Chains A and B, each alone.
Chain A
């Protein structure tokens, strides 16, 4: 089995993001970049599936600037086998990225694609579903599991996604509960927060990652239409909410909610 996992380079989720005064983007000075946290969960799940099956190959794919090498190396240090970076400096939308992945999945003859449910920069939550449509494959979004992240199964590294007999069983987080889907493989699965706790790269892992293959492809070499249909015209800071006042006691608070705000 060959598992493709997508990796996006995004600003550190703990960084404070500020919009440039001219509205052309965010201020990137001194900004730290990381693997999109949801993609990290996807990498972890792929590694667990590989460890369980014994015979899988985990290939990381990314689309972005050359600097995304760093994030691919992080994934390789976690234990992925090799990586492909499609070097693109231009603006892309989710459909363009899905088309690039579509080409890579075909070229690599992958059996399973794992993606984070969304990237924490554009918060689009589209690429996985779009890729599934382009491939004509079934999809399971927001993969989670019934075991808690404190459970023994989680600590022993049991994958939440079950694959056997050419089918995947996926527990998904939906409105009002957890749905279990069965879908034939090949398939596209996007992962949510509660699927697993990603491992840290070990020191030997980091050493090994340096020698693993990281192939770069020029975006133009793929022959894919990457003209974005969704255009970002400008960014503005969100409207500020005024801080209210501090109250001195619970009684004062309840009275204020009752008499002043009239919400209880």
Chain B
């Protein structure tokens, strides 16, 4: 059988792009295992999300509509998701390794007594999977024994599934969430306000490193280039550690993993841990004063220059194209 269940994450009852990536991964896993691919939506008032997921190529969409699931918390969501996996005889549970996916899936795996592979980048013949280890310095071939199995997939490793296909059946399921299992309360959410594209979804990412020297320089030097390119802004861990910018801009193994069409690294030396977060980008540009910087070893185009001169100049040049 080998049926696969994709956890369809949404934000405020809106489908998010990483979920479509998870669907593609789920469909691939189901094909390799010779089973069907289902999806599950958890929440309250999520019919529209379920309808959207139903058009992405899955066999069926399960919906658990429960007031206890209105706001995401790991305790209630994990209990509900584990129950669906059991009730529907699922062999492999798949979700994208978003903040929610990373928080939720291991908890579900432990509730099920299942083995888990995280940040999987490929499903191989013979049931094995590939995942990075050691900050991307090694690619491990892994297998999970027994059933069920739990797998999170890296959001940049699969293309998002196309929406708008034939409508699959949507089935409401109840799992009987014990109110006492939900003890965690989300009391505040301070959203990072930005008119720019989401870092992990942007076509162009411009990142700054420690060489920018200050948070002020991120604003006055880097941001004009970011905006003229319609890009998302990122940063190296060194720049985050130095307090120039908040951590949610961090690109790297310990931050966000991105794979845009164009990645521009400004004043970033290219530590292993940063490369792990951006080396799957289609085109990489490096601007750095130090011509020995390791970032040049992965860059398609390298410019050895003082960023404080080159970046404003580049902003003007790009403006001319528009």
Chain A contact residues, CB within 8 Å of chain B: 11, 13, 16-19, 26, 93-95, 98, 118, 120-134, 138-142, 144, 146, 148-150, 169, 173-184, 192-194, 228-238, 241, 243-247, 249-251, 253-254, 256-258, 261, 263-264
Contacts and interface: CB of A to CB of B under 8 A. Distances in A.
A179 B318 contact: no
A116 to B, nearest CB: 10
Nearest to B98: A175
A53 to B, nearest CB: 22
Interface stretch (B19-27, B41-49, B181-189): B181-189
B184 A13 contact: no
Given A178-B189, A179-B188, A192-B247, A230 B116 contact: yes
12 contacts: A17-B137, A26-B137, A141-B102, A169-B187, A177-B190, A180-B186, A232-B141, A236-B141, A241-B298, A246-B304, A247-B303, A251-B317
Contacts of A254: 314, 317-318, 321
A90 B315 CA distance: 55
A231 B126 CA distance: 14
A16 B189 contact: no
Contacts of A124: 116, 118
Contacts of A126: 106, 109, 116, 118
Contacts of B137: 16-19, 26, 237-238
Contacts of A13: 135, 273
Interface in B112-145: 113-119, 128, 132-145
B183 to A, nearest CB: 5
Nearest to A150: B243
A64 B20 CA distance: 39
A179 to B, nearest CB: 5
A17 B74 contact: no
Interface string B260-301: 011000000000110000010011110000010000111111
B321 A180 contact: no
B184 A183 contact: yes
Interface of B: 11, 73-75, 78, 98-100, 102-111, 113-119, 128, 132-146, 183-192, 198, 200, 204, 229, 237, 240-241, 243, 247-248, 250, 253-254, 261-262, 272-273, 279, 282-285, 291, 296-305, 310, 313-314, 317-318, 321
Contacts, number: 257
Contacts of B297: 241, 243
B262 A235 contact: no
Given A17-B134, A175-B98, 12 more contacts: A125-B102, A129-B74, A177-B248, A179-B188, A231-B142, A231-B145, A235-B141, A238-B136, A244-B302, A245-B301, A263-B262, A264-B229
Contacts of B261: 263
B115 A123 contact: no
Given A231-B145, A232-B142, A193 B247 contact: yes
B110 A95 contact: yes
B200 to A, nearest CB: 8
A120 B190 CA distance: 28
Contacts of A18: 137
Nearest to A190: B103
A147 B78 CA distance: 30
Contacts of B106: 94, 125-130, 133
B301 A121 contact: no
Contact of A138 (B117, B138, B184, B314): B184
Contacts of B200: 175
A179 B298 CA distance: 35
B107 A181 contact: no
B218 to A, nearest CB: 14
A183 B74 CA distance: 11
B192 to A, nearest CB: 5
A98 B191 CA distance: 32
A251 B204 CA distance: 19
A238 B138 contact: yes
Nearest to B297: A243
A223 to B, nearest CB: 16
Given A182-B184, A236-B139, A243 B145 contact: no
Contacts of A98: 110
A179 B279 contact: no
A177 B133 contact: no
Contacts of A228: 115, 145
Contacts of A192: 247
B136 to A, nearest CB: 6
Contact of B247 (A173, A182, A247, A253): A173
B258 to A, nearest CB: 13
Contact of B100 (A118, A169, A174, A236): A174
Contacts of B303: 246-247, 249-250, 253
B301 A256 contact: yes
B138 A193 contact: no
B124 to A, nearest CB: 10
B94 to A, nearest CB: 15
Contacts of A148: 243
A185 to B, nearest CB: 10
Nearest to A228: B115
